Amino acid sequence: MPKWAKWLLVMLGVLAVLGAIALTALAAWVSRVPRTLHSESALEIAATPDELLELLAAPARWPEWSAWSRDRHSDVERVYTGPERGVGATLEWRDRPSVAIHIGVGAREEQRVLAGRGRLEIQRCDPLEITFEARHHDGFVVGSSDGGFATHVRIARPGADYVVAGRLRLEPLGATTRVTWTEDLELGQGFVAGLLAASMSGVTHSAHEHALEASLARLKAALESGSGAGR
């Protein structure tokens, strides 16, 4: 065997070992990436818990104050089922099939993802707390707009559901009520899910918290202007 061929085999062997070490290190790092993304926002609103519940416990009234695209955008289909408010009240949403954008010069047409598709259901409704589950199908989409700033982040994983555990907690403070909105997003298990979590968690968390903040700001404006809760 020529000398150069021996050196080539040695180099290939070294590269294979280094590659294996790199993959092992990457897998170990990915395994330590947090798979639950916690987002939270709070705001003090001049309203009673009962007035807040009128808007918070009925998904069909979320478009009156929510900044989420799934609740506000005209190109998102929304279907409400179950009771009007409280436990079992449900929203199912999806982007309208007609909404599309053109990619490239004279190229293909692609579906524009505004809110994706999913299902939100209220699971518990107490005088001072609401919990709900939002299940996003085929990818998690954070789309929101408060009139002055818009965010849109998508983690795409076809065939996988992203589950969000949400909670709206009310704390009476005399003439006002402090509303705390928390959401915990499960990013999934496995190597691919870990890579997505590692690469997208930062921007997703920022967009997620903005959606909560913008929604609470709109809720505050709706109630304090006298337009919410049947005022």
Q: pLDDT tens digits for 32-72?
A: 556 678 899 999 999 999 999 999 999 999 999 999 989 98
Say if residue 23 is in the same domain as residue 46: no
Say if residue 25 is in the same domain as residue 63: no
- The residue that leads in pLDDT, 32 or 116, is 116
Number of domain units in the chain: 2
- The residue that leads in pLDDT, 88 or 38, is 88
Say if residue 178 is in the same domain as residue 73: yes
- The residue that leads in pLDDT, 157 or 68, is 68
Which pLDDT score, from 0 to 100, does residue 26 have?
47
Say if residue 171 is in the same domain as residue 70: yes
3-state secondary structure (DSSP) of residue 153? strand
Say if residue 3 is in the same domain as residue 43: no
Alpha-carbon distance 173 to 128, whole Å?
12
The domain containing residue 121 runs over which residues? 36-224
Say if residue 79 is in the same domain as residue 147: yes
229 occurs within a structural domain: no
Say if residue 99 is in the same domain as residue 153: yes
165 occurs within a structural domain: yes
Scan for tokens 């085929």, then name that residue: 138
Instruction: pLDDT band for 20, please (50, 70, 90 cuts).
Output: low
Consecutive H or E run containing 81:
strand 76-81
CA distances from 141 to 70, 187, 194, 228 (A): 9, 12, 17, 27
DSSP 4-37: HHHHHHHHHHHHHHHHHHHHHHHHHHHHTS--EE
134 occurs within a structural domain: yes
The Cα diameter of the chain in Å comes to 90
Alpha-carbon distance 205 to 215, whole Å?
15
β strands within 128-189, DSSP E: 129-145, 150-173, 176-186
Nearest to 116 by CA among 130, 98, 95, 134: 95
Query: Which CATH number covers residue 215?
Result: 3.30.530.20
Alpha-carbon distance 201 to 96, whole Å?
27
Instruction: pLDDT band for 190, please (50, 70, 90 cuts).
Output: low
95 occurs within a structural domain: yes
Instruction: Give the mean pLDDT of 17-27.
Output: 55
Which pLDDT score, from 0 to 100, does residue 216 have?
96
What is the CB-side half-sphere exposure of residue 73 using CA atoms within 13 A?
A: 22
91, pLDDT greater than 70: yes
Say if residue 63 is in the same domain as residue 7: no
231 occurs within a structural domain: no
CA of residue 227 relative to chain centroid, distance: 27
105 occurs within a structural domain: yes
116 occurs within a structural domain: yes
Say if residue 61 is in the same domain as residue 25: no
Say if residue 185 is in the same domain as residue 134: yes
Which pLDDT score, from 0 to 100, does residue 159 have?
75
